[in-house]
Structure 1
Amino acid sequence: MANRTLNPLGEIVNGNAAQRPSRDTKLIGRYVTLVGLSAAHADPLYPHISGPENAHLWDYMFEGPYDDIAKYRSSLKAKEASQDPIFYAILLNDKVAEAENNEESGRVVGIASYLRIDPRHRSIEVGHLMYSSQLQRTPAATEAMYLMLRHVFEDLGYRRYEWKCNSLNAPSRRAALRLGFTYEGLFRKHLIAKGRNRDTAWYSIVDDEWPGVKKALEAWLDPANFDSDGRQRKKLEEFRQ
Protein backbone atom coordinates (compact mmCIF):
# COMPACT_ATOMS: atom_id res chain seq x y z
CA MET A 1 0.00 0.00 0.00
CA ALA A 2 1.46 3.32 -1.08
CA ASN A 3 2.16 5.91 1.55
CA ARG A 4 -0.34 8.75 1.38
CA THR A 5 0.25 12.37 2.19
CA LEU A 6 -1.16 13.20 5.61
CA ASN A 7 -3.49 16.19 5.60
CA PRO A 8 -3.36 18.62 8.51
CA LEU A 9 -6.11 17.96 11.04
CA GLY A 10 -7.50 19.95 13.92
CA GLU A 11 -6.69 19.16 17.51
CA ILE A 12 -8.70 16.40 19.14
CA VAL A 13 -11.56 17.71 21.28
CA ASN A 14 -13.24 15.69 24.00
CA GLY A 15 -16.76 14.60 23.13
CA ASN A 16 -18.47 16.03 26.19
CA ALA A 17 -21.54 18.01 25.17
CA ALA A 18 -22.32 21.36 26.76
CA GLN A 19 -25.46 21.81 28.83
CA ARG A 20 -28.49 23.65 27.51
CA PRO A 21 -29.28 26.91 29.28
CA SER A 22 -32.50 26.98 31.28
CA ARG A 23 -34.98 29.76 31.77
CA ASP A 24 -35.23 28.60 35.39
CA THR A 25 -31.67 29.80 36.00
CA LYS A 26 -31.16 33.08 37.86
CA LEU A 27 -27.96 35.00 37.20
CA ILE A 28 -27.42 37.35 40.11
CA GLY A 29 -24.96 40.24 40.11
CA ARG A 30 -24.29 43.44 41.99
CA TYR A 31 -26.34 45.64 39.66
CA VAL A 32 -28.70 43.26 37.88
CA THR A 33 -30.38 39.88 38.07
CA LEU A 34 -31.40 37.88 35.01
CA VAL A 35 -34.49 35.68 35.31
CA GLY A 36 -36.54 33.72 32.80
CA LEU A 37 -38.66 36.11 30.75
CA SER A 38 -42.42 35.86 31.21
CA ALA A 39 -45.47 37.68 29.91
CA ALA A 40 -45.70 39.33 33.34
CA HIS A 41 -42.65 41.42 32.46
CA ALA A 42 -44.47 43.11 29.58
CA ASP A 43 -46.39 45.75 31.51
CA PRO A 44 -43.49 47.17 33.57
CA LEU A 45 -41.09 47.16 30.60
CA TYR A 46 -43.43 48.43 27.89
CA PRO A 47 -43.47 52.13 28.91
CA HIS A 48 -39.67 52.27 28.59
CA ILE A 49 -39.44 50.75 25.09
CA SER A 50 -42.59 52.09 23.41
CA GLY A 51 -43.70 55.39 21.93
CA PRO A 52 -42.10 57.60 19.27
CA GLU A 53 -39.20 58.49 21.56
CA ASN A 54 -38.17 54.83 21.71
CA ALA A 55 -38.91 53.79 18.13
CA HIS A 56 -35.17 53.80 17.34
CA LEU A 57 -34.64 50.90 19.76
CA TRP A 58 -36.39 48.64 17.24
CA ASP A 59 -34.55 49.73 14.10
CA TYR A 60 -32.31 46.66 13.95
CA MET A 61 -34.70 44.19 15.57
CA PHE A 62 -36.69 41.61 13.60
CA GLU A 63 -39.88 42.73 15.36
CA GLY A 64 -41.54 45.89 16.61
CA PRO A 65 -41.99 48.63 17.44
CA TYR A 66 -45.20 47.85 19.26
CA ASP A 67 -47.94 50.46 19.46
CA ASP A 68 -50.25 48.27 21.53
CA ILE A 69 -49.53 46.76 24.95
CA ALA A 70 -51.72 43.73 24.20
CA LYS A 71 -49.58 42.86 21.18
CA TYR A 72 -46.44 43.23 23.27
CA ARG A 73 -47.86 40.93 25.95
CA SER A 74 -48.53 38.33 23.25
CA SER A 75 -44.98 38.69 22.00
CA LEU A 76 -43.53 38.03 25.45
CA LYS A 77 -45.90 35.12 25.99
CA ALA A 78 -44.46 33.49 22.86
CA LYS A 79 -40.92 34.24 24.02
CA GLU A 80 -41.68 32.67 27.39
CA ALA A 81 -42.47 29.37 25.63
CA SER A 82 -39.47 29.45 23.29
CA GLN A 83 -36.70 26.85 23.71
CA ASP A 84 -34.32 28.52 21.25
CA PRO A 85 -33.93 31.40 21.79
CA ILE A 86 -34.23 31.25 25.57
CA PHE A 87 -35.13 34.72 26.83
CA TYR A 88 -34.29 36.44 30.11
CA ALA A 89 -35.57 39.61 31.72
CA ILE A 90 -32.88 41.92 33.04
CA LEU A 91 -33.89 43.28 36.43
CA LEU A 92 -32.16 46.27 37.94
CA ASN A 93 -31.40 45.44 41.56
CA ASP A 94 -32.60 47.98 44.08
CA LYS A 95 -31.99 48.46 47.78
CA VAL A 96 -35.28 46.80 48.70
CA ALA A 97 -34.40 43.74 46.63
CA GLU A 98 -30.97 43.54 48.22
CA ALA A 99 -32.30 43.95 51.76
CA GLU A 100 -34.95 41.28 51.28
CA ASN A 101 -32.72 39.02 49.20
CA ASN A 102 -35.56 39.01 46.67
CA GLU A 103 -34.20 39.45 43.16
CA GLU A 104 -37.72 39.34 41.67
CA SER A 105 -38.48 42.78 43.16
CA GLY A 106 -36.03 44.54 40.84
CA ARG A 107 -37.18 46.82 38.02
CA VAL A 108 -37.37 45.29 34.53
CA VAL A 109 -35.01 47.30 32.32
CA GLY A 110 -34.24 45.00 29.40
CA ILE A 111 -34.24 41.62 27.66
CA ALA A 112 -31.47 39.29 26.47
CA SER A 113 -31.37 35.76 25.13
CA TYR A 114 -29.26 32.76 24.32
CA LEU A 115 -29.88 31.43 20.81
CA ARG A 116 -28.47 29.11 18.15
CA ILE A 117 -27.87 26.72 21.03
CA ASP A 118 -25.66 23.82 19.92
CA PRO A 119 -24.59 21.68 22.90
CA ARG A 120 -22.92 19.07 20.70
CA HIS A 121 -20.49 21.53 19.13
CA ARG A 122 -20.53 23.70 22.26
CA SER A 123 -21.43 26.88 20.43
CA ILE A 124 -24.03 29.41 21.53
CA GLU A 125 -24.98 33.00 20.70
CA VAL A 126 -26.18 36.01 22.66
CA GLY A 127 -28.80 38.17 21.01
CA HIS A 128 -32.24 39.75 20.87
CA LEU A 129 -30.93 42.44 23.19
CA MET A 130 -33.48 45.10 24.09
CA TYR A 131 -32.08 47.70 26.48
CA SER A 132 -34.27 50.49 27.80
CA SER A 133 -32.72 53.91 28.41
CA GLN A 134 -32.44 52.95 32.10
CA LEU A 135 -29.97 50.21 31.16
CA GLN A 136 -28.05 51.62 28.20
CA ARG A 137 -24.44 52.69 28.77
CA THR A 138 -24.45 51.72 32.46
CA PRO A 139 -22.38 49.30 34.56
CA ALA A 140 -25.58 47.26 34.85
CA ALA A 141 -25.60 46.66 31.08
CA THR A 142 -22.00 45.47 31.14
CA GLU A 143 -22.66 43.25 34.14
CA ALA A 144 -25.62 41.60 32.39
CA MET A 145 -23.32 40.56 29.54
CA TYR A 146 -20.63 39.44 32.01
CA LEU A 147 -23.12 37.23 33.88
CA MET A 148 -24.26 35.58 30.64
CA LEU A 149 -20.67 35.04 29.50
CA ARG A 150 -19.60 33.52 32.80
CA HIS A 151 -22.58 31.19 32.85
CA VAL A 152 -21.84 29.93 29.33
CA PHE A 153 -18.16 29.19 29.87
CA GLU A 154 -18.00 28.25 33.54
CA ASP A 155 -21.35 26.56 34.22
CA LEU A 156 -22.55 25.19 30.87
CA GLY A 157 -19.27 24.21 29.24
CA TYR A 158 -19.39 25.98 25.86
CA ARG A 159 -16.33 26.56 23.66
CA ARG A 160 -17.66 29.42 21.56
CA TYR A 161 -19.89 32.43 22.29
CA GLU A 162 -21.15 34.43 19.33
CA TRP A 163 -22.39 37.97 18.82
CA LYS A 164 -23.97 38.95 15.52
CA CYS A 165 -25.55 42.20 14.43
CA ASN A 166 -26.62 44.22 11.43
CA SER A 167 -23.45 45.66 9.94
CA LEU A 168 -25.07 49.12 10.01
CA ASN A 169 -25.67 48.90 13.76
CA ALA A 170 -22.63 50.87 14.88
CA PRO A 171 -23.48 50.87 18.63
CA SER A 172 -23.79 47.06 18.64
CA ARG A 173 -20.50 46.66 16.79
CA ARG A 174 -18.74 48.95 19.27
CA ALA A 175 -20.29 47.08 22.19
CA ALA A 176 -19.03 43.73 20.91
CA LEU A 177 -15.46 44.97 20.62
CA ARG A 178 -15.62 46.76 23.96
CA LEU A 179 -16.76 43.58 25.72
CA GLY A 180 -13.85 41.61 24.26
CA PHE A 181 -15.37 39.89 21.24
CA THR A 182 -13.20 39.33 18.16
CA TYR A 183 -14.50 40.43 14.77
CA GLU A 184 -14.59 37.46 12.39
CA GLY A 185 -16.04 38.87 9.21
CA LEU A 186 -19.06 40.09 7.25
CA PHE A 187 -21.81 37.82 5.93
CA ARG A 188 -23.05 39.74 2.90
CA LYS A 189 -26.77 39.67 2.06
CA HIS A 190 -27.19 37.34 5.00
CA LEU A 191 -30.82 38.14 5.86
CA ILE A 192 -33.85 40.19 4.89
CA ALA A 193 -35.10 42.09 7.93
CA LYS A 194 -38.33 44.06 7.72
CA GLY A 195 -38.02 44.04 3.94
CA ARG A 196 -34.48 45.43 3.97
CA ASN A 197 -31.13 43.83 3.23
CA ARG A 198 -29.02 42.89 6.22
CA ASP A 199 -25.31 42.26 6.00
CA THR A 200 -24.33 40.61 9.27
CA ALA A 201 -21.18 41.40 11.24
CA TRP A 202 -19.90 38.30 13.08
CA TYR A 203 -18.02 38.27 16.40
CA SER A 204 -17.02 35.65 18.96
CA ILE A 205 -15.26 34.87 22.22
CA VAL A 206 -13.83 31.35 22.62
CA ASP A 207 -13.07 29.49 25.80
CA ASP A 208 -9.31 30.06 25.56
CA GLU A 209 -9.95 33.82 25.61
CA TRP A 210 -12.46 33.80 28.44
CA PRO A 211 -9.98 34.08 31.36
CA GLY A 212 -8.55 37.32 29.96
CA VAL A 213 -11.96 38.70 29.06
CA LYS A 214 -13.24 37.80 32.53
CA LYS A 215 -10.32 39.48 34.28
CA ALA A 216 -10.88 42.73 32.40
CA LEU A 217 -14.64 42.73 32.97
CA GLU A 218 -14.31 42.06 36.69
CA ALA A 219 -11.68 44.77 37.07
CA TRP A 220 -13.88 47.29 35.26
CA LEU A 221 -16.99 46.34 37.25
CA ASP A 222 -15.15 46.62 40.58
CA PRO A 223 -16.67 49.50 42.61
CA ALA A 224 -13.15 50.88 43.03
CA ASN A 225 -13.16 51.71 39.31
CA PHE A 226 -15.91 54.32 39.83
CA ASP A 227 -15.71 57.65 41.61
CA SER A 228 -18.28 59.03 44.04
CA ASP A 229 -20.38 60.30 41.12
CA GLY A 230 -20.38 56.92 39.41
CA ARG A 231 -17.93 57.90 36.68
CA GLN A 232 -15.50 55.23 35.48
CA ARG A 233 -11.85 55.78 36.32
CA LYS A 234 -10.58 53.51 33.53
CA LYS A 235 -12.30 52.28 30.38
CA LEU A 236 -12.90 48.58 29.95
CA GLU A 237 -10.52 48.46 26.99
CA GLU A 238 -7.71 49.77 29.22
CA PHE A 239 -7.91 46.68 31.41
CA ARG A 240 -7.05 44.51 28.41
CA GLN A 241 -3.91 46.42 27.48
Structure 2
Amino acid sequence: MPAKTPAPVTLTGRHVRLEPLTRHHLSDLFAAGGNDDAVWQWQGGPTPRTEAELGEKLDTILDNEAYVAFAVILLESGRAIGWTTYLDISPIDERLEIGWTWYGSAYWRSAVNTESKLLLLTHAFEDLGMGRVQWKTDHMNQRSQNAIARLGARPEGVLRRHRLRPDGTWRDSVYFSMLKDEWPEAKQRLGERLERG
Protein backbone atom coordinates (compact mmCIF):
# COMPACT_ATOMS: atom_id res chain seq x y z
CA MET A 1 0.00 0.00 0.00
CA PRO A 2 1.52 3.36 -1.01
CA ALA A 3 2.22 6.17 1.39
CA LYS A 4 -0.31 8.94 1.89
CA THR A 5 -0.16 12.11 -0.17
CA PRO A 6 0.71 15.11 2.01
CA ALA A 7 -2.09 17.63 2.53
CA PRO A 8 -2.06 21.04 4.22
CA VAL A 9 -1.68 20.47 7.95
CA THR A 10 -0.42 22.36 11.01
CA LEU A 11 2.54 20.87 12.90
CA THR A 12 3.44 22.39 16.27
CA GLY A 13 6.58 22.09 18.38
CA ARG A 14 7.97 24.01 21.34
CA HIS A 15 9.68 26.73 19.29
CA VAL A 16 7.90 26.80 15.93
CA ARG A 17 4.60 26.01 14.30
CA LEU A 18 4.42 24.97 10.66
CA GLU A 19 1.12 26.00 9.10
CA PRO A 20 -0.14 26.14 5.52
CA LEU A 21 1.59 28.99 3.69
CA THR A 22 -0.72 31.77 2.45
CA ARG A 23 -0.48 35.35 1.20
CA HIS A 24 -1.49 36.35 4.74
CA HIS A 25 2.09 35.60 5.83
CA LEU A 26 3.72 37.94 3.31
CA SER A 27 4.37 41.01 5.50
CA ASP A 28 5.94 38.94 8.28
CA LEU A 29 8.04 37.03 5.78
CA PHE A 30 9.37 40.20 4.18
CA ALA A 31 10.23 41.62 7.60
CA ALA A 32 12.12 38.40 8.45
CA GLY A 33 14.09 37.90 5.26
CA GLY A 34 13.22 40.31 2.48
CA ASN A 35 16.01 42.43 1.02
CA ASP A 36 18.63 40.15 2.65
CA ASP A 37 21.17 38.91 0.13
CA ALA A 38 22.50 36.25 2.53
CA VAL A 39 19.06 34.63 2.78
CA TRP A 40 18.44 34.55 -0.97
CA GLN A 41 21.93 33.81 -2.28
CA TRP A 42 21.14 30.16 -3.03
CA GLN A 43 17.38 30.33 -3.53
CA GLY A 44 17.40 30.69 -7.30
CA GLY A 45 16.54 34.19 -8.43
CA PRO A 46 17.27 37.71 -7.28
CA THR A 47 16.87 38.90 -3.71
CA PRO A 48 13.35 40.28 -3.24
CA ARG A 49 13.86 44.00 -2.58
CA THR A 50 10.19 44.76 -1.97
CA GLU A 51 7.24 42.97 -0.42
CA ALA A 52 5.71 42.70 -3.90
CA GLU A 53 8.80 40.92 -5.23
CA LEU A 54 8.70 38.45 -2.35
CA GLY A 55 4.99 38.02 -3.11
CA GLU A 56 5.89 36.86 -6.63
CA LYS A 57 8.15 34.16 -5.19
CA LEU A 58 5.46 33.14 -2.71
CA ASP A 59 2.89 32.93 -5.53
CA THR A 60 5.21 30.63 -7.49
CA ILE A 61 4.99 28.16 -4.61
CA LEU A 62 1.28 28.61 -3.96
CA ASP A 63 0.45 28.19 -7.66
CA ASN A 64 2.32 24.88 -7.90
CA GLU A 65 -0.10 22.10 -6.99
CA ALA A 66 2.83 19.68 -6.63
CA TYR A 67 4.06 21.55 -3.53
CA VAL A 68 2.77 21.40 0.05
CA ALA A 69 4.13 24.61 1.55
CA PHE A 70 4.41 25.67 5.18
CA ALA A 71 4.99 29.02 6.82
CA VAL A 72 7.43 28.71 9.72
CA ILE A 73 5.92 30.58 12.67
CA LEU A 74 8.09 31.48 15.66
CA LEU A 75 5.87 30.69 18.65
CA GLU A 76 7.52 33.35 20.81
CA SER A 77 6.33 36.14 18.50
CA GLY A 78 3.58 34.49 16.47
CA ARG A 79 5.21 35.83 13.29
CA ALA A 80 6.25 34.01 10.12
CA ILE A 81 10.05 33.89 9.81
CA GLY A 82 10.46 31.66 6.74
CA TRP A 83 8.90 28.90 4.69
CA THR A 84 9.58 25.28 3.75
CA THR A 85 7.92 22.79 1.41
CA TYR A 86 7.32 19.17 0.60
CA LEU A 87 7.95 18.64 -3.12
CA ASP A 88 8.81 15.87 -5.60
CA ILE A 89 6.13 13.82 -3.86
CA SER A 90 5.53 10.22 -4.98
CA PRO A 91 3.30 8.22 -2.63
CA ILE A 92 3.58 5.10 -4.80
CA ASP A 93 7.37 5.26 -4.35
CA GLU A 94 7.02 6.33 -0.70
CA ARG A 95 9.23 9.37 -1.14
CA LEU A 96 9.23 13.12 -0.97
CA GLU A 97 11.70 15.98 -0.84
CA ILE A 98 12.01 18.75 1.70
CA GLY A 99 13.14 21.92 0.01
CA TRP A 100 12.53 25.53 -0.98
CA THR A 101 13.40 26.31 2.65
CA TRP A 102 14.55 29.63 4.03
CA TYR A 103 14.53 31.42 7.38
CA GLY A 104 15.44 34.97 8.27
CA SER A 105 19.17 35.11 9.00
CA ALA A 106 18.47 36.12 12.63
CA TYR A 107 17.21 32.54 13.15
CA TRP A 108 20.11 30.65 11.57
CA ARG A 109 21.87 28.16 13.86
CA SER A 110 18.97 28.33 16.32
CA ALA A 111 16.37 25.74 17.30
CA VAL A 112 14.24 26.82 14.31
CA ASN A 113 15.74 24.58 11.62
CA THR A 114 16.22 21.59 13.92
CA GLU A 115 12.62 21.66 15.15
CA SER A 116 11.16 22.46 11.72
CA LYS A 117 12.89 19.45 10.22
CA LEU A 118 11.96 17.26 13.20
CA LEU A 119 8.28 18.15 12.63
CA LEU A 120 8.49 17.60 8.86
CA LEU A 121 10.36 14.31 9.16
CA THR A 122 8.08 12.96 11.89
CA HIS A 123 5.06 13.76 9.75
CA ALA A 124 6.63 12.27 6.61
CA PHE A 125 7.80 9.00 8.14
CA GLU A 126 5.27 8.40 10.90
CA ASP A 127 2.02 9.93 9.62
CA LEU A 128 2.39 9.66 5.85
CA GLY A 129 4.34 6.39 5.74
CA MET A 130 7.20 7.62 3.55
CA GLY A 131 10.21 5.39 3.14
CA ARG A 132 12.60 8.06 1.86
CA VAL A 133 13.04 11.79 2.35
CA GLN A 134 15.53 13.66 0.22
CA TRP A 135 17.15 17.09 0.02
CA LYS A 136 19.21 18.77 -2.67
CA THR A 137 21.32 21.88 -2.53
CA ASP A 138 23.81 23.87 -4.55
CA HIS A 139 27.29 22.35 -4.43
CA MET A 140 28.63 25.77 -3.43
CA ASN A 141 26.20 26.17 -0.51
CA GLN A 142 28.30 24.63 2.24
CA ARG A 143 26.10 26.07 5.02
CA SER A 144 23.08 24.20 3.66
CA GLN A 145 25.05 20.98 3.17
CA ASN A 146 26.27 21.14 6.78
CA ALA A 147 22.74 21.77 8.08
CA ILE A 148 21.34 18.81 6.13
CA ALA A 149 24.12 16.51 7.33
CA ARG A 150 23.46 17.56 10.95
CA LEU A 151 19.92 16.19 10.56
CA GLY A 152 21.37 12.71 10.03
CA ALA A 153 20.85 12.67 6.26
CA ARG A 154 23.44 10.90 4.15
CA PRO A 155 25.08 12.38 1.05
CA GLU A 156 24.25 10.40 -2.08
CA GLY A 157 26.08 12.15 -4.87
CA VAL A 158 26.12 15.09 -7.20
CA LEU A 159 24.07 15.83 -10.29
CA ARG A 160 26.48 17.80 -12.45
CA ARG A 161 25.34 20.84 -14.47
CA HIS A 162 21.89 20.35 -12.97
CA ARG A 163 20.41 23.85 -13.00
CA LEU A 164 21.05 27.17 -14.65
CA ARG A 165 21.56 29.88 -12.03
CA PRO A 166 20.08 33.37 -12.58
CA ASP A 167 23.61 34.72 -13.17
CA GLY A 168 24.12 32.33 -16.12
CA THR A 169 26.43 29.90 -14.35
CA TRP A 170 25.60 26.23 -13.86
CA ARG A 171 24.79 24.66 -10.52
CA ASP A 172 25.74 21.13 -9.54
CA SER A 173 23.20 19.72 -7.04
CA VAL A 174 24.32 17.70 -4.02
CA TYR A 175 21.72 15.11 -2.97
CA PHE A 176 21.11 13.81 0.54
CA SER A 177 18.55 11.32 1.83
CA MET A 178 17.21 9.66 4.93
CA LEU A 179 15.44 6.29 4.88
CA LYS A 180 12.72 5.13 7.25
CA ASP A 181 15.02 2.65 9.00
CA GLU A 182 17.48 5.51 9.67
CA TRP A 183 14.76 7.76 11.07
CA PRO A 184 14.54 6.47 14.70
CA GLU A 185 18.21 7.18 15.39
CA ALA A 186 18.03 10.57 13.66
CA LYS A 187 14.86 11.44 15.58
CA GLN A 188 16.56 10.68 18.88
CA ARG A 189 19.59 12.83 18.00
CA LEU A 190 17.42 15.74 16.86
CA GLY A 191 15.38 15.54 20.07
CA GLU A 192 18.55 15.54 22.15
CA ARG A 193 19.88 18.55 20.24
CA LEU A 194 16.68 20.48 20.97
CA GLU A 195 16.92 19.56 24.67
CA ARG A 196 20.46 20.92 24.79
CA GLY A 197 19.24 24.16 23.20
Q: Which range, TM-score by smaller chain?
A: over 0.9
The 2-side partners of 1:48 and 1:29 are apart by: 20
What residue in structure 1 maps to residue 178 of structure 2? 205
Please show how residues 1-241 of structure 1 align to structure 2 within 5 Å: 16-23=1-8, 25-51=9-35, 54-94=36-76, 106-194=78-166, 195-222=168-195, 225-226=196-197
Cα contact 1:20–1:156 (8 A) shared by 2 = yes
Q: Do the aligned partners of residues 74 and 186 (structure 1) sit closer, same or farther apart at CA in structure 2, a change above 3 Å counting?
A: closer
Cα contact 1:27–1:33 (8 A) shared by 2 = yes
Residues 155-202 of structure 1, C-alpha deviations (whole Å, 9 max, x = no match):
000000001000000001101111100011111111112122010101
The 1-side partners of 2:53 and 2:65 are apart by: 21
The 1-side partners of 2:181 and 2:82 are apart by: 29
Superposition deviation, residue 76 in structure 1? 2.0
Q: Do the aligned partners of residues 78 and 187 (structure 1) sit closer, same or farther apart at CA in structure 2, a change above 3 Å counting?
A: closer
Select the structure that is richer in strand. Answer: 2
CA RMSD in angstroms, aligned pairs only:
1.4
Identity, % of aligned pairs? 32
Structure 1 length as normaliser, TM-score?
0.77
The 1-side partners of 2:106 and 2:25 are apart by: 15
Q: RCO (CA 8 Å, sep 6+): is it higher in 1 or 2?
A: 2
Structure 2 SS opposite 1:117? strand
Residues 37-68 of structure 1, C-alpha deviations (whole Å, 9 max, x = no match):
001111111022122xx112111112331122
Superposition deviation, residue 81 in structure 1? 3.6
Superposition deviation, residue 219 in structure 1? 1.6
Cα contact 1:34–1:91 (8 A) shared by 2 = yes
The amino acid that maps onto 1:162 is Q
Cα contact 1:38–1:79 (8 A) shared by 2 = no
The 1-side partners of 2:118 and 2:10 are apart by: 14
The 2-side partners of 1:68 and 1:120 are apart by: 40
The 2-side partners of 1:85 and 1:196 are apart by: 26
Cα contact 1:90–1:108 (8 A) shared by 2 = yes
The 2-side partners of 1:191 and 1:74 are apart by: 21
The amino acid that maps onto 1:208 is D
Structure 2 SS opposite 1:211? helix
